[in-house]
Amino acid sequence: MTDVRKLDLNLIVVLDALLAERNLTRAGERIGMTQPAVSGALARLRELFHDPLFAREGRGFVLTPRAESLIPVVAECMIEVHRTFDVLPDFEPATSTRTFLVAASDYVLAEITSPLLRLLAVEAPRTRVEFSALPVDADLSPIDLLRCDVSIAATGRGVPGKRASLFSDRFVCVADAANPALAGGRLSLQALREQRHVRSVFGVHVSTHVDDMLAAADLVPSVAVTVQGFLPVPFAVAGTPWIGWVPERTAARFAASLGLVVAETPIAPSVLVEAAHWHPSKSGDAALQWLLGRLRDAAELVEFGGDAEGADESAG
């Protein structure tokens, strides 16, 4: 058994950076260490775990199975270290220089980025937000929630952890205005079966609300092209005989400029509810709770319109 009294906590910080970056130089930049110092720490970690942890593959590194198994353990450990040493003190928005990490789909970022940044500029002008895409090929896991402050994803998809609903939308069918299958702005069920569809995906193994909606209508679409996310769908549909399904706000954003129409269909539209998700271990972080409040304010602007300062005053 390892004598914890002899452990160097700095090694945990280095290991956390290495597991995230999988590159000595970038890991060093992440935690303010030189590449030789990171290399020396890695040598000590390899000795401690009796495992190489990282194996070279081409010009980069891949994790060994032992290193993969350490990802959730190290992530939890880092949170406990922060708690123990009070690295996350009371949050003062006006003076904080914190960088928040927010993951979301292209649709959510298109809707919420501007109102959120306007709100932060008023209350916390020195903070920053780094936005990233949701992980592909799998649903959100507890590890994904640990890597970001907040992940914004649709409810009903089995996302673990804590959540707060933000705003909703419904899915509509978009078609080129010149699509010959349109009859008075409407597509019949038979037309929907005959038309080729532009399909949105968020990973090979991730089922979407649209997939479920079409399956419930006993409709197996003929896929013309597959795109990542919702925003490319209107552009893929424009000028073609294809159709696609997008959140109604996305359709409203692009229909006029791309010559599209929102087609009426006999299919009951699926409702999309976007929610902020976070790891339960972060619930005590005052800054995170403040960010969640601003996300709710931004979501109100998405739902009902208005200006950032007005929404902020009403929330107070």
Q: Is the pLDDT of residue 307 over 80?
A: no
Find the domain containing 21 and state its range: 4-84
Question: Could you tell me the pTM of the whole model?
Answer: 0.71
CATH number at residue 74: 1.10.10.10
Tell me what pLDDT residue 225 has. 96
d(CA 263, CA 175): 7
Which residues, other chains included, contact 214 with Cβ-Cβ below 8 Å and sequence gap of 6+?
Answer: 220, 221, 245, 267
Residue 315 has pLDDT above 50, yes or no: no
CATH number of the domain to which 266 belongs:
3.40.190.290
At residue 83, does pLDDT exceed 80? Answer: no
Question: Residue 183: how many CB atoms within 10 A of its CB?
Answer: 11
Range in 3-7, 88-92, 250-254, 271-275 with the lowest mean pLDDT: 3-7
Burial class (CB in 10 A: 0-12, 13-18, 19+), 247: buried
Mean pLDDT of 234-262: 97
The pLDDT of residue 54 is 87
278 with 153, same domain: the answer is: yes
Where would I find the H helices in the chain?
Answer: 9-21, 24-31, 35-49, 65-84, 106-123, 142-147, 189-194, 209-216, 232-237, 248-258, 286-304, 308-315
The Cα–Cα gap between 114 and 168 comes to 17
- Tens digit of each residue's pLDDT (9 = 90 or more) over 13-33: 888 888 888 888 888 877 767
Number of domains in the chain: 2
- pLDDT tens per residue, range 104-123: 999 999 999 999 999 999 99
Is the same domain home to 103 and 195? yes
Determine the Cα–Cα distance for residues 41 and 47; give it in Å rounded to an integer.
Answer: 10
Domain boundary among 64, 84, 104: 84
Domain termination residue (choose one: 27, 60, 84): 84
